[in-house]
Structure 1
Amino acid sequence: MSNIKQKFLKFIISFACIVLISACSQTDKPSARKNIAGQKGIDVAIVLPLSGPEAALGKEYAQMIKLGLSDGAKTKIRVTTYDSSNPETLSKSLDKILEDGVDIIIGPVYSEETKAVAEKVKGKGTIVISLSNNPVLADKQTYVFGHAPMRQLEQITNYFLEKKHQNYITLLPAGRYSNTISKILKDMITSKGAALARLEFYGTTPEDLEKSLRLVSDTVDTLNENDYELTRPVILLADDQSALETLLKHAQKFSLDKKAILAGDSRIDLNFSEPITTTFTGSLNIVNFDLPARSAQLGIKHISFIHTLAYDAGRLVGNSIGSNYSKTKFVEQLNSAEPFHGASGAIGFVDSIAQRKYDIIKKENGQYKSVSNEGN
């Protein structure tokens, strides 16, 4: 009897979620759906690339936004997805959005598309939550929800400096951007009396990557021999997923996670058959919300930080709408001093720009633990 009740309860919950979030394709006609069974709902538009070379990722981000909306919704929300794959398509999408009187737009990801959206909706009453990280685009109608990876590197570097780690190594892809990052990190590290012992810039070939990891491993061995305070060196990594996957496999080969601390932003949270110990910025809510398993059910093989941002954007919007939508109350909620605790960290807006406070997370033997308030 107990099992029957549990199954019935799960059915009711699932049915409620389906009713609460109406996920529609681009060809739907929101104007024909303004009132369903006498219920007035909120119209939310998701604006992402749904065709062209970035369509696969755009559709994944849209799925994560819808999942977040479903988790956060307190009232009926009608969701329509619109294509932003090129300027002409985006313009047509925005015409349709304004024609249908959409209340809230989530997206796009990039600055140029966000600029076009912001200009089009200005003075129209529609609120935009963009996944872009360009602060210049922020205004009273357009909220910039993206993040800059450099902020994560700065926070984790400061964390290890506070823990009195004295030696640092940067392991970054060759290029002008990495030179800039290394200069910023060097200034941070040396200003606290610590040392940036090596700046290693690697090339793109497997041979280049292995050579760089061997040089870093040799440097770590030398530092450990000469460090009388027994604080392990910190290796700071940052790159895209494919490069980091190769780097971490080489790091395992040289046992770098045993004789040094591998640290970076949330992109280094990768899964291997032989677990590797890493420390990174993020939030344990990604595990608490069961996002890896739930996204896998949606066909998403790997959650990047932008996937997590997309989920948070949806959940924040759903949570901020409340039981009865009012633009004024919605904006007040977004501007609230009380942070929103998302899967990507504690989030608040200052001048319509998202500010995040990350946890420092250690992943060891496949298990996550927050070490923000602990030693290492």
Structure 2
Amino acid sequence: MFRFRRFLVLPLLFVFTLVLSACQTTTAPKWWEVPGTSPNAQGQGSGSTFDPTAQPRAGAEIPPWDPSQPTVQQPDAEVKAQEWMNQYDPRGGIQAARVGLLLPLTGRAAKVGQEIMNAAQLALFDFAGPRYELLPYDTKSTPEGAMQAAQYAISDGVSIIIGPLLSESARAVSPLLQAANVNALAFTNDSRAASENVFVLGVRPEEEVKRIIDFAALQGSSRFALLTSADEYGMRVRSAFEETVRENGAQTSKVVQYLSGVDDLPALIRDMADYDRRRQALVRQQNALKGKTDALSNKARARLKLLQTLGDVDFDALLVAAGGNALQTIAANLPYFDIDPKKVRILGTSLWETNWVHAEPALMGGWFAAPSAKNRTDFVEQYKAAYGHPPHPLSTLAYDAIALSAVLAKDTGEADYSRQTLTDPAGFLGRNGIFRLHPSGLAERGLAVLQVHQKAFREISPAPNSFAPALN
């Protein structure tokens, strides 16, 4: 259950109002009459045609408009104005907490956007009250579409924005949000998207790297190697890796980065493992025993036959920050080039959290950092029951963000989405575990350490239940 840390009990089910289209507007009357005149001021009858080239009519000229005077000279003008506003207000004049949801409902990320929309609706059923409105806007999977969606949301009077999804879209809308003083909880995990009004809600790889390196160092690892991609993700991982190793007083032995589809991964792993030198050392030792028939030499010869190489690699922990096909290739080549998991602890990130990893012998027993599954198990089952398939990993972020915005909304329709409230040091408990937002715009999360087993991932270091005092 999503829990705002300052409350003990939260209601689970409310009636909600969901506005499915923010782009449809009601055509309102136009205020085109000149003040002090009527539509027939130029003398046309109901069947006449206005001729813009005709000479001005005779008689007194229209007096200049004095902006300090009311346009409508009626004693009940304010009452009639409010009635007019209510007529074109879909809320009927009732105050409600308005929340904008910026999603890629079309374009290259539309499939993920629909998954997020599904999770948002589940959160509405669980948490939203009668004075809560969620208005979805399509970002069209582009920064330009996100900017237009943000403009629509701001003009519709939203108090907070959930989204957008993509990093470039989050950066694009930041100036608009700052000008309107509206905060956003973006789904990206790119720390560069954080700003004065944009909070990065995604699970950042930097956090995962720090958690797993800290844990491995606590268990005795002291010489670390890194194998990751040479793209933006890999550079962020490398920076966090080197900083965390240094903070633990440990040693960085090797850093190997590859370009997907370009570099020869087996060759890079062979070089990282110093395989050729270690192989030659074995061959030299075997040659030295040739011709010797004493018992000790025979015993040594039998032992060497079981080895691929002689000597150890120069690291006792290897962080493999990769997923998908790259991780499969790496897992196949680690034992081939004699990186022994009995001597080298294999570490990973949440990219490991997929079913096929259980079938990889080289990853068996490995550790990786990720949000605890305990908090999101119920959500996964709820999602599958509603939509017939498991949720996208980002769906939990959407559920948490919508739930947070609903919890902060009051039954009166008022809502406190201020920066001070959002950055409460106590944090919040969501489907991905505890999290809190820092004034820097980054989210801090409590992560668990999981171990790979044949049929499941076992949690060997639980996620924390509360945060240490925040350091700003």
Q: TM-score, normalised by structure 2?
A: 0.60
Letter in 1 for 2:350: S
Which blocks of at least 5 consecutive residues in structure 2 are unaligned? 1-10, 27-87, 279-306, 465-472
Check if 1:53 corresponds to 2:108.
yes
Q: SS state of the match for residue 201, structure 1? A: strand
- 1:190 Cα shift? 5.7
* Equivalent position of 1:234 in the other structure: 317
Higher helix share: 1
Pick one of 329, 337, 359 that aligns with 1:274: 359
After the TM superposition, which residues 99-248 of structure 1 pair with which residues of structure 2 at under 5 Å, given as runs? 99-124=155-180, 126-132=182-188, 133-134=190-191, 137-139=194-196, 141-174=197-230, 178=234, 181-182=237-238, 185-186=241-242, 188-189=244-245, 192=248, 194-205=250-261, 208-210=264-266, 233-244=316-327, 246-248=329-331
2:23–2:152 CA contact under 8 A, matched in 1: no
- 1:169 Cα shift? 2.7
* Equivalent position of 2:73 in the other structure: none
Higher strand share: 1
Pick one of 422, 444, 455 that aligns with 1:334: 422
Q: Identity of aligned pairs, percent?
A: 20
Q: Quick check: which has more Rg, 1 or 2?
A: 2
- 1:270 Cα shift? 0.9
2:206–2:240 CA contact under 8 A, matched in 1: no
Letter in 1 for 2:132: I
Q: Quick one: structure 1 residues 315 and 278, their matched pair in 2 at CA, closer, same or farther if it must change by over 3 Å?
A: farther
- 1:106 Cα shift? 0.6
- 1:74 Cα shift? 5.0
2:95–2:131 CA contact under 8 A, matched in 1: yes
1:83–1:89 CA contact under 8 A, matched in 2: yes
Aligned residues: 352
Pick one of 18, 22, 44 that aligns with 2:18: 22
Aligned partners of 2:207 and 2:274: how far apart in 1? 29
- 1:337 Cα shift? 2.0
Aligned partners of 1:280 and 1:245: how far apart in 2? 16
* Equivalent position of 2:458 in the other structure: 368
Aligned partners of 2:193 and 2:260: how far apart in 1? 33
1:283–1:361 CA contact under 8 A, matched in 2: no
- 1:242 Cα shift? 4.6
* Equivalent position of 1:265 in the other structure: 349
Q: SS state of the match for residue 312, structure 1? A: helix
Q: Quick one: structure 1 residues 196 and 88, their matched pair in 2 at CA, closer, same or farther if it must change by over 3 Å?
A: closer
* Equivalent position of 2:399 in the other structure: 311
Aligned partners of 1:203 and 1:87: how far apart in 2? 27
- 1:210 Cα shift? 4.8
Aligned partners of 2:123 and 2:183: how far apart in 1? 18
- 1:125 Cα shift? 5.3
Check if 1:321 corresponds to 2:378.
no
Q: TM-score, normalised by structure 1?
A: 0.73
2:131–2:410 CA contact under 8 A, matched in 1: no
Pick one of 74, 77, 82 that aligns with 2:137: 82
Aligned partners of 2:349 and 2:329: how far apart in 1? 16
- 1:163 Cα shift? 1.8
Letter in 2 for 1:233: D
After superposition, what is the alpha-carbon deviation per residue over 1:210-263, rounded to whole angstroms, capped at 9, x for unaligned? 555666778799999759xxxx93321223545335545666998976664332
- 1:57 Cα shift? 2.0
1:245–1:270 CA contact under 8 A, matched in 2: no
Aligned partners of 1:176 and 1:144: how far apart in 2? 17
